[in-house]
Amino acid sequence: MYRRHTIGVIVPAYNEEDHISDVLATMPDFVDRIYAVDDNSTDDTWRIIRTYAAASREGDRAETDALESGSPETGASENGAIEDDDEQLRASLPDGGAVVGPEIVPIRHAENQGAGGALRTGYVRARDDDIDITVTMDADGQMDPDQLPKLLDPIVEGDADYAKGNRLADRASRREMPPFRLFGNWVLTQLTKIASGYWRLQDPQNGYTAISHDALSAIDIESLPDDHEYPNDLLVRLNVAEMRVADVSMPAVYADEESTIQYETFIPVTSITLLRGFCQRMKTQFAADRLHPTVLCYAAGIGVLAAAAAIATLGGVHAVDGEASVREPTAAAFALLTSVGLFLIAMRTDARDNAELGVRR
């Protein structure tokens, strides 16, 4: 328990046999429960999780979720929960299975569901267990457990409903980030600001986060996307629910881990997620006030931009036909500048309306 709040930590893992032990072993003592979600790994990750889970439960059988379908090989009980051979697991521990640290709840997916799917499983379990604050910490060792109180404090002190790490807050942290990742993060930051309405936000893909029970209960967490676009989608949901989000500065940590993001699918899928989230947020936030300047300016900007494209296309056709004129290029340029101005006004009013939802720590 941290400052009279129960703390749960979701540790999603897929083929993390080289790092999962260190993550579980170095979890702070104030953490009450760890939801270690194995996303159907093909290496030794699940055995390691079960070993630590067995050690975290004194005398009782390690609790395992019914997310992996029962079979004779797994020894599933009638209710579908996997019954592990804890005696064998405990024997593999140097201390004989002594209870150390938080309770570990091992959960395994029968099929791989992606990064978002693993977190969704943990979120639902933590919400149903009435955990006060739920943290997400990757199993690759990139997230320093000593930084955890910095994420929890904004929520405990009532300043925020959701807190996330920000590796872009200072120059030293930015220098440690690979250039390609830094550029991609900057682009996603700008797009996520527009889509989510959190205009003070940075580093939206940071997976080191904390969320209050109230915020977790206020959003439809069961429909969180399966893959790596889940942080962007989650931020849109939080804004629609009028939840305050804190950006917490913390250093970037990179070791020998390999990213599982497939950029050829991540970029288009995330772009679609952001566009859909933006449209949903506009509809939900401003549906009661159809003359809201944010919606009007965005809609007018899109309309004028479409007109600029049509005029430019017409000018191109005339040029091909040998009927070039300065009228179409001039009109297209004027329409383009007008659309940019309308978009800037829309962003300004949107940022003003959502200013109280963004918190910097």
What string of pLDDT tens digits covers the 361 residues of the chain? 999 999 999 999 999 999 999 999 999 999 999 999 999 999 999 999 999 998 877 534 444 444 443 333 333 333 333 334 444 444 444 444 444 468 999 999 999 999 899 999 999 999 999 999 999 999 988 899 999 999 999 999 999 999 999 988 877 777 777 787 788 888 889 999 999 999 999 999 899 999 999 999 999 999 988 877 889 999 999 999 999 999 999 887 765 555 556 666 777 888 888 898 898 888 887 766 666 888 889 999 999 999 999 998 888 887 777 776 778 889 999 999 999 999 999 999 999 999 899 887 7
Q: Which spans in the chain are helix H? A: 20-25, 45-56, 86-91, 114-128, 148-156, 171-176, 179-196, 213-218, 230-240, 263-286, 293-320, 327-353
Which strand ranges, in their side-by-side order, compose the sheet holding 33-38?
A: 103-108, 33-38, 7-13, 133-136, 209-212, 162-166, 245-249, 358-360
Distance between CA atoms of residues 142 and 134, nearest Å: 18
Residue 110, Cβ neighbours under 10 Å: how many? Answer: 13
Task: Tell me which DSSP letter residue 15 carries.
Answer: S
| Whole-Å CA distances, 39 to 44, 88, 145, 239 | 12, 23, 22, 28
Give one DSSP letter per residue of 199-223, joined into a string.
TT---TT---EEEEHHHHHHS-GGG
Per-residue pLDDT, 348: 94
Per-residue pLDDT, 335: 93
Distance between CA atoms of residues 249 and 53, nearest Å: 32
Of the candidates 176, 208, 174, 204, the residue with the CA atom closest to the CA atom of residue 189: 204
pTM across the whole model: 0.80
